[in-house]
Amino acid sequence: MYKHLTPGALPSSMQLSSDGRLRHFLTIEGLPPLLLEEILDRAEQFLSLPEKQQKKAPLLRGKTVMNLFFENSTRTRVTFEIAAQRLGADVTSLDIRTSSASKGETLLDTIRNLEAMSADMFVVRHEHAGAAHFIARYAAPHVSVLNAGDGRHAHPTQAMLDMFTIRKHKGEFPPLKVAIVGDILHSRVARSNIHALNTLSTGEVRVIAPKTLLPVDAEKLGVKVYTDMDEGLRDVDVVIMLRLQRERMGSALLPSEREFFKLYGLTEKRLELTRPDAIVMHPGPINRGVEIDSRVADGPRSVILQQVTNGIAVRMAVMAMIMGSGGMA
């Protein structure tokens, strides 16, 4: 279905309008740094909204957002729903397991029918890389598409909420050393984070993983590659742990989860190798005792739950920008 697409290689004009504004949000790759900074600044405006008596900023009143989740998700789907609701949009979440797609309807026919119900935005999660690009290419001109994760390719809003969380704790990006640890090969979060960190001129981006969980020519992504966890963690400011994605592994790439934790699990002892004020992040869901020790996941340097909170503000910012709405009054 998506054979004519090359995820990540799409022209920026597919995501941006002729005047440089965000039209779709499919990948971080190729976007200008000023646009990423604008997303972070807009998110800052929305972050304090839940603390106010009026929790909504009805910038999308009268708009219809449809969440099309072809792949399981909890926190991403819910945070997109809350984000759209706080912007005042009408929100529909399609459970693909009970939709007409399960009866053989093609993806394009599904999209055409939903467009006929006056959709303004599709939020798409799909197991196949390129699915969001495919829908964006064939969607009606007035419909925008937001990629909520496609295969192992991209997860741009997760990357932006991670950048937002890093900026909240660390300030500017150029002085920072950031390590991304674990299943780099199958992770759309890792790919999008690497693109975002490099676009924002981060001082040093490292990936740490066994060779079997690294992409071929990983260095071409603009990172330093480490296969030794202790060496890679030394003096970093930020540690981003990743989940082992067993569902995307076609064969046994690891001897065992116990062995993986022994060599690459983040423990309190290993965390001492980082800078004393280093923060620990994880996009979730967490596999405790596989990639991270509970004492670290729940410890004082963990900002994992803050990432979830920040995700709502960042998704509100992206939706508002895509729909051409201004900032909060």
Considering 16-20, 240-244, 246-250, the range whose residues carry the highest mean pLDDT is 240-244
Please enumerate in sequence order all residues whose Cβ is within 8 A of that of 310, keeping only pairs 6 or more positions apart, or say none: 43, 47, 161, 164, 165, 168
User: Strands, E, within the chain: which ranges?
Assistant: 64-69, 90-95, 121-126, 144-150, 177-181, 204-208, 224-226, 238-241, 279-281
What's the pLDDT at 78? Answer: 95
Q: Is the pLDDT of residue 107 over 70?
A: yes
Strand order in the sheet with 177-181: 224-226, 204-208, 177-181, 238-241, 279-281
Q: Is the pLDDT of residue 8 over 60?
A: no
Q: Which residue has the tokens 């022994």?
A: 262
pTM of this structure: 0.92
Instruction: Assign 148 to helix, strand or coil.
Output: strand
Q: Is the pLDDT of residue 218 over 50?
A: yes
Query: pLDDT for 145-182, tens place per residue?
Result: 999 999 999 999 999 999 999 999 999 999 999 999 99
What's the pLDDT at 4? Answer: 43
Query: pLDDT for 95-106, tens place per residue?
Result: 766 666 666 778
What's the pLDDT at 256? Answer: 82
Mean pLDDT of all residues in the chain? 90
| CA–CA dist 49, 91 (Å, integer) | 19
Q: Is the pLDDT of residue 287 over 60?
A: yes
What's the pLDDT at 11? Answer: 65
